[in-house]
Structure 1
Amino acid sequence: MLNSIPEPLRLWLRRVQWQPVLVLACTLLVFGKTTFDLDAKTLWWDESLSLQRSEQGWSDLLLGKLVLKDGVSERITWDQHPFAFYVLLGILIRLAGDSVLVLRIMSVCAATLLVPAVWGFGGFLERTGLAPDRTRLWAVALVALNPLVLWYGQEARPYTMWMLLSLLSLWTLSEWIATWQWQHRRFSHGKRWAVAWLLVTLATLATHFYALLLVPVQAILIFVGLLRIDRKLAVEALAFMGVLTTAIAVAVFQMITGQPGAGSNYAPIGLHRVLWEAVHGFGMGISVPAGWTVPLDSILLAAAVTGAWTLSGTEYNRSRHGWLLPAVLAAPILLLFVASLIQPNYMAVRHHAQLLGPYLLMAAAGLAAWQRRMPLAALAVAVLVVVGTGFSSWRYFREPIYGKAPDYALVGSILEDGIRDGDIVLFKGPNSWRLFRRFFPMDEIDGARDAGASIHWRAVPPVMVPGMGWATPVGDRLRDIVGGYDRVWLVEDRTLPYEDPEHQVLTWMRAEMHTQGEWGFYHPNSSLALFLFLSETPSPVAVLPDDGVIVDADFNGELRLRHVQVEPRLWAGGQVPLTLYWEYLQVPDRPWRFIVWLEEHTTDGRWLKLPHSEQHGTFSLDPARVGLVELAYSHVEAPPKLAEDSSFRLQVLLYDPETLDKAPVTEAGPWDTKPEEPALMIPISIPEAERSG
């Protein structure tokens, strides 16, 4: 085949360094994957803590002091992570704002830099004869395809930064110690690597406290390396690192467990489960159920075991510290498991994230060894890995369950669209206050209230902690808050449900009020629910309001639209509240629903349907409703700014949700109809917003 290629091109292909091209391609692949739809997944609770800590004053940021607020009270807690990630994020948000893209871009950069990092470390392993040729090629490919890199590369948490720094710490230490053996014990040749290792290791320890679990392995590596040069120095170095690490670990343990209730929500986990979760997470990733990919995870595990033997199976390799990566992989998991027998702690796959790089390097060494002996088998494994990781990444982007949290923005938009004068919003879930502030219209409600609207938001007062009970009965607290309002919204975040395990707040509201609507958003990390209650049970309307539009139009001889009331928007850009008054002429013969939308008259004489203005409502099939007039709440979207000559008309249509049949307008009165719909067209005026800003 090469003979068919023109000679100049063939010579150029031979001169091209394809390995750097592959590294660049894999680097761009990771960057492309982690930036794709970067802001599509909503922030979740852990990420809100990153934002809250990073936007605090520098002293509180460095100390990890977090003030959790619920609008009524405050509670001080201490973050369980060091400060490095948050310092960088704090600088970034002060320069570029706190958009989702800004919050997550540091994780994207760290994930992207993992590719050149494993390339460099893999090159060291090849250069020293510890790993077969092409190990680093396999390593960069595995990192580029790895679903866990994608998962945490799109999260505003320190895990990918921790992965990167841990790998760099191991690499720089290995390079430094290698100079002791090959430069005639002249330390001056390794000073640059020594400084690099010290700086990177300090940065790693300042990123995640679990980085301490790598220090014992590094201390042993330094000890073994120094034994050949100076036994006394080796013992002193080992003792110094051991004492320092123990002191830091004790201080961290006391800080974390010293908080009220710390560790009480964690149960001991078996070692076999920890190991398998790590194997699955490092393999096909947590965006695929573990039971689906056992064969593929097992194949990658077998490659890692082969790589461990390749690196450390001979005396020559052991003398050159080929045991480092296997030890790094085993020691932190075992140390953490032993610690969990004393105090249950965090042991999910993200808490072993610093081991991903070593695991993939070992798997890469194993695959390179297979390629040398069984090329076709290695090729088959490569195809399976590409398919498996590709499927996992596809599920990450496509399946809602991997959205990390309920869609706070969606719930916030439902509330913002539906809220009207006379409403109060209750927020329940003090630990999610930063998310409430970000996604819900709390500032807009405050502004409308200042402008004279009868609208408010309040926090549900501190709810019981298990074993402590209530200061006063829940009903007395809530009754004082919601009194005087027509409708009550309840936003309930159940990320930490132990604050109201018996759902006393919701139970009281269901018993004392009329439920108008419910929206539930479940996610394995948490769940979010939105409820709308009427303070009084709805009763038939005896007298129609004086303001608004008298309609008196019949649909299918069963339902009559008597009146439409248009209310001012609470703020510019908000929805226009509508109240529709329906009379039941006879029992509907099917479950009709109504739909309303707004059209604006354009300068060229056309009527243009405004986007996002469709809203739906339902009717009852209860025969007792015949002859009664009931109201229905709705809303439509109008332009933020209204011109003096703006002209609008409201269209109303009834349809069957099962068959999509449309109810005819049997009596239109003075109003026009659109026969092809068929829809009733009612000219209306849009009042100015109560608050212009």
Structure 2
Amino acid sequence: MRHLNILTSPHEPWLLAALTLGGLALRLWGVGDMGLAYDEAATALMARAAPAAIVDFHWRAAFEHPPLWQLTMAGWSAGFGQNEAALRLLPALAGATVIPLTWWWVQRLWPAERAWRNWAAALVALAPTLVLYSQEARMYTLVVALALLSLIALHALATQPRLPVILAFAGINWLMTGFHYYSILLIGVEAIFLGVLAARRRARPDAWRWSGAIVLSLAPIALWMALAPGFHDTLRVVVNNIGGGNTQSALAFLDALWRDLTFGAIRWQPEGAIVGLVLAPLVTIGLAATAIPDARCFRTNPGYTPWSWLVGLAALLPLLLSVLFAPALAARYILFALPAIYVLAAAGIVWLGRQSLPLGLAGALLALVVAWLGLSYYFTGYTKSEYREMAAFLTAYRQPDEAVMLYAPRQHLLTKYYLPDIADEVVTAPVVELPTFWPVNAPPIVPEEMDGVLLDLLATHPALWVIVTAENEVDRGEFVPKFLTAVAYKEECWSWLDVSLCRYVSPHFLTEVRSSTPELLFGGELRLTGAAIMQTPQHPLDANYRFVRLDWLAERQPTRDYRVTLRMVDDRGAVVAQRDEFPIGALLPPTTWRAGDVKPGYMALPLPADLPPGDYRVVVGVYDPATGAAMGDFVEIGVITMGGSA
């Protein structure tokens, strides 16, 4: 390959340097401010394993890529540590190299097009999605950089298919596919392009060299796919899901994918991502303005190389193929298509500018507005994960004798990263053995097995914290929270973006301070036989609640799913605190009871923060939720003195 010659203008090297440094600054800005998402925590934990263990795991595990990324991060972590910024530094640096590599690629294909390559570099520098994934502790920007190197090497391969070029081309592709096997789509694009050239030129020696380069490029990943048991499992699932599990039309899927690629809101796409569609006309204009003239030249001159076809294939073919694999394919898997998309957008801007200056300025303004809005969203409104914030809250308020449960176990890598001091103590729902470094796929919860575990935890710990994320994977019926509500005092669930934290107080560690025997029958079916106001524990969070046990008897099988309303009223009869719930929670609503059933119910009554001192009556009522009609009079079960001991 010829050496890079940037001396086409005395100012161009400075412009490229400014774009690269500016892009690097964007990618390093607040790089450690956001907490790790699940995949990033997987990067961190797996990088702590021995290299041989990393290779073995990726060989056997489904939905894992070849091990090059984790091996790279194992070495990187040894030198730079594993805080959020250190884990993301390598992707940020790789993301910055995409800027000059894009410039270099366009310079190789069209040496005379100075404005085109500079606009392409500028758009890549400001691309919201490329900035976002430059701050993700994953392999995606490394794949993009290697993809550009592969395309640059392809230029040399198409013009000078000598052995060193073939080996360089294949070596780059080995690295690229070693990081992410979806990048074989790019090698497919390159193979199609070289096939078109070979068919038109009828140059058999070149065709054999090109074929050899493609085969050599695919050899390592093909062997991995052919032999690795984990890939076989992955392929089986992907093939079974083709055309299924996706209710979107092809057009709707491509629309969402395009917004993800051009705006950058990958996980939670905001409505504002629609502005990414503005780039589509620029890309279309750029493709038409370059591909049509190339087609004319290629038709009349067999030796001509239609480079715009390569750019168009690299930009659009991965998007079109993604429709086939829609349920399994995310935008980040085809991130390597983005530089080609921005090269076409830059071509559109340049073509418009050559028609008239106002048109060119309008095209440039549209592209820059998309970049500005996407970057503004990412650096202000976007949140990747709030597991770190949840972990800080739990660390601040959990007492050493309180249990912690992961509901579901998939989150254990995040737990080990952010809660290392308790990671070995946590219990999982369902109960599974947690590997030290690797992800885990847990089976569905079996209620008959889980209830005893929960009861044992409440019998031996004064409180149970439940960390809730990805729970639908193991407990679609929500057995765990429903069961805990039936057998413990549920205080509150604090919610963050992608995780919740619930606290349940064990009734075994509370003592009665006031009790009564109301013996009041509601609806002719449900009798309140006893009530007790419990001693408030010393935990700082418990001061915001009052704990009440209500004892129920089904005189006959209930015909309504009654709701209990527990209230605290002041001396004027005004309600100052209230909680409404099934008698023992949603797991067993009253209509599931049988005549003669005796069941205790546990209710934690939340208190307002500004409640003044004084005496407050605690009353209980029962009503029919279907009509709101009361099933009897309220009954007073005690008096609470605020500022007192209870």
> Normalising by structure 1, what TM-score?
0.67
- Name the counterpart of 1:532: 503
CA contact (8 A) 2:186 2:314 kept: yes
Does 1:103 find its partner at 2:87?
yes
1:306/1:51 CA distance change after superposition, 3 Å? same
Once the two structures are TM-superposed, the CA of residue 226 in structure 1 deviates from its matched residue by: 5.8
Displacement after TM superposition at 1:108 (Å): 0.2
Q: Does 1:331 align with 2:317?
A: yes
- For the residues of structure 2 that align with 1:273 and 1:423, how far apart are their CA atoms? 48
The total of aligned residue pairs comes to 528
Secondary structure, aligned partner of 2:421: helix
- Whole-Å separation in 1 of the counterparts to 2:362 and 2:285: 13
Matches within 5 A, 1:238-637: 238=211, 241=214, 247-248=222-223, 251=226, 255-258=230-233, 262-263=237-238, 267-268=245-246, 270-286=249-265, 288-289=270-271, 292-293=274-275, 296-309=278-291, 312-316=294-298, 319-322=304-307, 323-338=309-324, 340=325, 345-399=327-381, 402-405=382-385, 407-420=386-399, 422-440=401-419, 443=421, 457-462=426-431, 470=446, 472-494=448-470, 497-522=472-497, 527-536=498-507, 541=513, 587=571, 617=609, 619=611, 623-624=617-618, 627-628=639-640
Query: Does the CA-based 8 Å contact 1:172-1:196 persist in structure 2?
Result: yes
Counterparts in 2 of 1:481 and 1:253: CA distance versus 1, 3 Å: same
Q: Structure 1: how far apart are the matches of 2:485 and 2:545?
A: 25
**Local SS of the residue matching 1:483:** helix
TM-superposed deviation, 1:262 = 3.6
Aligned with 1:156: secondary structure? coil
CA shift for structure 1 position 274: 4.2
3-state SS, counterpart of residue 499 of structure 2: strand
Is the aligned partner of 1:211 residue 2:192?
no
Q: Which letter does structure 1 place at the counterpart of 2:427?
A: R
**Deviates further, 218-227 or 346-355:** 218-227
1:224 and 1:105 map into 2 onto residues whose CA distance is: 40
TM-superposition CA deviations, 1:483-532 (whole Å, max 9, x none): 132222111222x622111111111001111112220123xxxx311111
**Shift of residue 120 of structure 1?**
0.5
**Unmatched 5+ stretches in structure 2:** 1-7, 433-440, 516-534, 547-567, 578-607, 620-637
CA contact (8 A) 1:274 1:347 kept: no
CA distance 1:99–1:250, shift in 2 (3 Å): closer
Contact residue 220 and residue 238 of structure 1 kept, 8 A: no
* Conservation of the 8 A alpha-carbon contact between 2:170 and 2:213: no
**Match in the other structure for 2:52:** 59
Query: Do the aligned partners of residues 632 and 485 (structure 1) sit closer, same or farther apart at CA in structure 2, a change above 3 Å counting?
Result: farther
How much does 1:326 deviate?
Answer: 1.5
How far 1:589 sits from its partner (Å)? 9.6
**Contact 1:566 1:579 (C-alpha < 8 Å) held by counterparts:** yes
Alignment of 1:123-138 (within 5 A): 123-127=107-111, 132-138=113-119
For residue 26 of structure 2, what is the aligned residue in structure 1? 33
Change (3 A) 1:292 1:539: farther
Secondary structure at 2:110 match in 1: helix
Task: Determine the structure 2 residue equivalent to 1:450.
Answer: none
Q: CA deviation at 1:564?
A: 12
Deviation at 1:388, TM superposition (A): 2.2
- Residue by residue, what CA displacement relative to the aligned partner does 1:348-391 show, whole Å, maximum 9, x if unpaired? 22122111111111222222222222221111121222222111
Q: Label 1:147 to 1:164 Cα distance change in 2 as closer, same or farther (>3 A).
A: same
Identity of counterpart residues, as a percentage?
A: 19
Counterpart of 2:313 in structure 1: which amino acid? A
Code of the residue aligned with 1:427 in structure 2: it is: L
> Compared with structure 1, are the counterparts of its residues 222 and 327 closer, same or farther at alpha carbon in structure 2 (3 Å cutoff)?
same
Residues 505 and 18 (structure 1 numbering): CA distance in 2 closer, same or farther, change over 3 Å? same
Q: Distance in 2 between matches of 1:261 and 1:444?
A: 37
Distance 1:110 1:385 in 2: 23
Change (3 A) 1:16 1:466: closer
Counterpart of 1:234 (choices 192, 201, 207) is 207
8 Å Cα contact 1:487/1:532 also seen in 2? yes
Specify which structure has the higher proportion of helix.
Answer: 2
| Alpha-carbon separation, structure 1, partners of 2:226 and 2:175 | 18
Task: Give the whole-Å Cα distance in 2 for the aligned partners of 1:281 and 1:179.
Answer: 37
Q: For residue 171 of structure 1, what is the aligned residue in structure 2?
A: 152
Of 146, 152, 173, 2:127 maps to 146
Residues 145 and 306 (structure 1), Cα distance of their counterparts in 2 relative to 1, 3 Å cut: farther
| Residue type at the aligned position of 2:310 | L
- What's the offset of the Cα at 1:296? 1.7
Inter-partner Cα distance in structure 1 for 2:9 and 2:315: 36
Q: State whether structure 2 residue 141 is matched by structure 1 residue 160.
A: yes
Name the SS of the counterpart of 1:17 in structure 2: coil
1:77 aligns with 2:61: yes
Q: For residue 258 of structure 1, give the secondary structure of its aligned residue in structure 2.
A: helix
3-state secondary structure, aligned to 1:515: strand
Following the alignment from structure 1 to structure 2, what is the Cα–Cα distance between the partners of residues 200 and 123? Answer: 20
8 Å contact from structure 2 (residues 278, 370) kept in 1: yes
CA RMSD of aligned residues (A): 4.1
CA distance in 1, matches of 2:469, 2:545: 34
Opposite residue 219 of structure 1, the aligned amino acid is: A
Q: What SS class does the counterpart of residue 518 from structure 1 fall into?
A: strand
Shift of 1:467: 9.5
Cα offset, 1:457, TM superposition: 4.0
Aligned to 1:660: none
Contact kept? 1:139, 1:364, Cα under 8 Å? yes
Asked if the contact 1:53–1:64 (Cα under 8 Å) also holds between the matched residues in 2, the reply is no
Q: Among 97, 101, 118, which residue is 1:113 paired with?
A: 97
TM-score by length of 2: 0.71
Alpha-carbon offset, residue 476 of structure 1: 1.8
Q: Which residue in 2 is equivalent to 1:601?
A: none
Cα distance in 1 between the residues matched to 2:124 and 2:454: 53
Say if 1:275 and 1:423 are closer, same or farther in 2 by CA, change over 3 A: closer
SS in 2 for 1:135: helix
Closer, same or farther in 2 for the Cα pair 1:306/1:432, shift >3 Å? same
Please state how far the C-alpha of 1:416 moved relative to its aligned partner: 1.4
Supply the AA of the counterpart residue of 1:498.
E
Counterpart for residue 583 of structure 2: none
String of CA shifts for 1:433-456, please: whole Å, max 9, x gaps.
11112222x52697xxxxxxxxx6
Paired letter, 1:624 = V
Cα displacement (A) at 1:45: 0.9
